[in-house]
Amino acid sequence: MTAMITRRTALALGGAAIVTGIVGLPATPAWSAETDDRINEFAGGTAPQEGRVSIDAPEIAENGNTVPVGISVESPMTSEDYVESVLILADGNPRPGVATFHFSPMSGEATAQTRMRLAKTQDVVALAKMSDGSVYMSRRTVKVTIGGCGG
């Protein structure tokens, strides 16, 4: 005897799946263990704060093989208060570490630009370590449509 799914059962299951999806999804995507390790290593045990870091990257990348990204950090860049380094991570890549930039007060401003490969739609994360030991973080989702390793 085969079990038959009625229209009522199908609608109930579909509704339950939608509610579970809406309620059960985390507000921020879970990062890979390697990304967490890189963040913890860079921050040196300091909890990253939101703010001061800006990521300039396209919302939609038509070609995941070469995605431009720019990073800037608000800082007076004086000998007492400056950005020491910036780490860029791409969480969805097999190896999330993209680049690390080092600055000094003589840099004048903490900005950098590069291009990276994104394997699929994912978050680009930028962390800035300040001279006083504080760490700031920003995140931006980049949707990859073609040319990457996935979509």
Per residue in 14-24, pLDDT (tens digit) is: 555 554 444 44
Q: pLDDT tens, 1-37? A: 455 667 665 555 555 555 444 444 444 445 678 889 9
What's the CATH fold of domain 30-144? Answer: Immunoglobulin-like (2.60.40)
Least confident of 67-76, 89-98, 127-136, 142-151: 142-151
**How far is 18 from 106, CA to CA, in rounded Å?**
54
> Within its chain, how far is the Cα of 107 from the centroid?
25
Going from the C-alpha of 102 to that of each of 56, 76, 127, 140, the distances in angstroms are 18, 16, 12, 21
- What's the pTM? 0.76
- Where are the domains positioned within the chain? 30-144
Backbone angles phi, psi at 50, to 5 degrees: -80, 150
**pLDDT tens digits for range 74-91:** 999 999 999 999 999 999
